[in-house]
A and B are shown apart, each in its own frame.
Chain A
Amino acid sequence: MNKLINSPQTLLADALRGFAAAHGQLSVDFENRIVFSAAPREGRVTLVSGGGSGHEPLHSGFVGAGMLDAACAGEIFTSPTPDQILAAAIRVDTGAGVLFVVKNYTGDLLNFEMAAELAREQGIEVASVIVADDVAVEDSTWTAGRRGVGTTLILEKAAGAAAARGWSLEKVHMLAERIADAGRSMGAALTSCTVPAVGKPSFDLPEGEMELGVGIHGEPGRKRVPVMSAAELSHVLAESITTDYDFSGKPVIALLTGLGGTPLIELYAMFAEVSDRLKERNIKVARSLVGNYVTSLDMAGCSLTLVGADDEILDLWDAPVNTPALRWKD
Chain B
Amino acid sequence: MPETLTIDAIQQWLNRFASEITTQADWLTELDSAIGDADHGTNMVRGTAAVVAKLDDGSTSTVQELLKAVGMTLVSTVGGASGSLYGTFFLEMGRNSPSSVQLDASELENALRAGVNGVIARGHAAVGDKTMIDALEPAVTVLSRSLADGRQLHGSIAAAAAAATTGRDSTEPLVARKGRASYLGDRSAGHIDPGAASATILVAALAASVGEGIAR
Contact = CB atoms under 8 A, between A and B. Distances in A.
Q: Do A and B come from one complex?
A: yes
A74 B180 CA distance: 17
Contact of A144 (B38, B79, B88, B182): B182
B79 A81 contact: yes
Interface string A217-240: 111100000000000000000000
A78 B179 CA distance: 13
Nearest to B84: A110
B42 A197 contact: yes
Q: Size range of the interface on B?
A: 20 to 34
A318 interface: no
Given A144-B182, A217-B37, A219-B180, A110 B123 contact: yes
A260 interface: no
A114 B184 contact: no
A83 B79 CA distance: 10
A320 B43 CA distance: 40
Contact of B43 (A78, A105, A111, A218): A78
A143 interface: yes
B37 A79 contact: no
A218 B183 CA distance: 11
A114 B37 contact: no
Contacts of A113: 84, 122
B75 A83 contact: yes
Nearest to B177: A142
Nearest to A74: B79
Interface of A is mostly: loop
Interface string B177-207: 1111011110100000000000000000000
B175 to A, nearest CB: 8
A110 B122 contact: yes
Q: How large is the interface on A (under 10, 10 to 19, 20 to 34, 35 or more residues)?
A: 20 to 34
Contact of A142 (B82, B88, B122, B182): B182
A223 to B, nearest CB: 12
Given A75-B79, A106-B179, A144-B179, A83 B72 contact: yes
A106 B178 contact: yes
B83 A137 contact: no
Contacts of B123: 106, 110
A305 to B, nearest CB: 19
Contacts of B179: 106, 144
Contacts of A114: 75, 84, 87-88, 122
B132 interface: no
Contact of A82 (B43, B76, B180, B187): B76
B184 A220 contact: yes
Interface centre among B38, B79, B178, B184 (most CB of A within 10 A): B79
Contact of B183 (A75, A83, A144): A144
Interface in A168-210: 195, 197-198, 202
Given A80-B79, A137-B183, 16 more contacts: A74-B80, A77-B39, A79-B81, A81-B76, A81-B83, A83-B72, A83-B75, A107-B79, A107-B81, A110-B84, A113-B122, A114-B88, A142-B182, A144-B178, A144-B180, A147-B183
